[in-house]
Amino acid sequence: MSAPETSDFGPYSFALTADEARIAAARAGLRRALAGGLTAAHFAPLAAFVLAILFVAILALTGLLGRRPAEAALLVCAAAFLVQRLATRRRFFVSRRLAEAEIERLRAAGPLVLSVEANGLRLDGGPAPTRWRFDDCLDAEDAGGLVYLWPRQGAPAIAPTRIFRDEAEASRFAQFLRSRLPRRLAGSPTDD
């Protein structure tokens, strides 16, 4: 079976609904917030907090640290952990707001036309045509009734699955997008 050609898809005309824009903004905001690395930004502070509490508890139980200093140390650990969690929560909030603004601009533009080009996707109908080059994208996925093409920076290309003939065509479109991504990013071994 041969790979689909660009002419097999589109152009697709659609307007994002409020629900689709909300879903896309939530997903885009989460991906943007987690782009810095989930382990370092989320789980490492939790591990440090648990280790600090254990260390203080061991020092207090062995008598190397008095009761009052141990309580003070535990309060400082808890306060530091809460400040870190608030900063992380703010990062998620800001990322979601930025994604909401980007996607709302697309929704407010009204009817859009998504076209597949040889080297990427083009979205017409907004204030200016938007292009996503396959070489500048990280991933493509079909999730939550939307097909996404995720660029390294900026808003994703979004296509509601309702614009396709059926779910099979939406899946083929997502697979086509993945096949166009650079090999090192698409999960395929590189050819030497």
DSSP assignment of 122-177:
EEESSSS-EEEEGGGEEEEEEETTEEEEEESSSPPEEEEGGGSSSHHHHHHHHHHH
Residue 120: both structure tokens together:
């990427």
- Please report the pLDDT score of residue 11 as a whole number: 87
Phi, psi of 160 (to 5 degrees): -65, 140
Cis peptide before 11 (omega within 30 of 0): yes
Q: Which of 159, 150, 162, 176 is nearest to 31 (CA)?
A: 150
CA atoms within 13 A on the CB side of 113: 9
140, with CB counted inside 10 A (0-12, 13-18, 19+), is buried
Q: Residue 179 and residue 125: Cα distance in Å, rounded?
A: 26
Given the structure tokens 């292009």, which residue do they identify? 131
pLDDT of residue 190: 43
pLDDT by position in tens, the chain (length 192): 455 565 678 789 998 888 998 899 888 888 887 776 666 777 888 888 999 999 999 999 999 989 999 999 999 999 999 998 898 888 888 888 988 888 888 888 788 899 999 899 998 887 678 899 999 888 898 888 899 998 988 888 889 999 999 888 989 999 999 999 887 544 444 443
Q: State if pTM tops 0.95.
A: no
Q: Which residues pair with 71 in a beta bridge?
A: none
Q: Cα dist. 151→28, 101, 112, 138 in Å?
A: 11, 17, 19, 6
Residue pair 3/176 in contact (Cβ under 8 Å)? The answer is: yes
Distance of alpha carbon 11 from alpha carbon 164, whole angstroms? 11
pLDDT of residue 55: 94
d(CA 15, CA 13): 7
pLDDT, residue 138, reads 87
